[in-house]
Amino acid sequence: MIEKFLSSQTTGLPGKVEISIDTPLSGELPPCETLEPFLPGRARLWGRVSVGVRCMSGSPWTRYVPAYIAVKGNYHVAARAISAGQVLTPADIALREGDLTTLPASVVVDPSQLAGMTASNGIASGAPIRRELLRGVLLVQQGQNIKVISRGAGFVVSAEGKAMSDAALGSLVQVKMQGGQLLSGIVRPNGVVERSL
């Protein structure tokens, strides 16, 4: 019953979920006809967890059952030592499989998160690649003249302006237009700023 409850609660986690349930410290659960499992507080269904079980019939009671939720999945590591400032290439990255619950929450599991990224710190060979160790390659420099494309229902308008800050691919940047108006948009791969109306 607890395993079925946890299985339903962990649907959608990345990878293959494996659940193991331990005997509660208070021993086996007392007999009860109507058991209701629940998660105490804001418990995260990841790694070691405690599942509450309430008896809803006869003499009501509540017990807590320890469980471990392993999430086996793929993640990315450095295939070789990566220097700070180095742009990542496919040769720098290797795929590993393991229990994601034992790794930092920011470890990269989606290869699309590595496209066009630069190491902001050195990363040792074999170390998991974490999002906070990466930054996007700067496509826009502060003060640079830049094309802004505005898209709306059935129309596209483009104009020129000056970037107000440095910006990487996919990040939000403000652009000062020729009339002095400030607009914000997303930096696209070709260095154009795009905004939707």
Whether the pLDDT of residue 130 is over 90: the answer is yes
Q: What is the mean pLDDT of the chain?
A: 89
Contact call for residues 2 and 65 (beta carbons, < 8 A): yes
| CATH class of domain segment(s) 73-136 | alpha beta
Contact call for residues 113 and 88 (beta carbons, < 8 A): no
**What is the Cα–Cα distance from 180 to 178, expressed in whole angstroms?**
5
Per-residue pLDDT averaged across 8-18, rounded? 85
Give the pair of three-digit tokens for residue 68: 């471990």
Q: What residues does CATH 3.90.1210.10 cover in the chain?
A: 73-136
Q: What residues does CATH 2.30.30.760 cover in the chain?
A: 138-196
151-179: per-residue pLDDT in tens? 888 899 999 999 999 888 778 899 999 88
| CATH class of domain segment(s) 138-196 | mainly beta
pLDDT of residue 113: 82
**Residues 6 or more apart from 167 whose CB is under 8 A from it?**
138, 139, 140, 173, 187
pLDDT of residue 95: 94
pLDDT of residue 182: 93
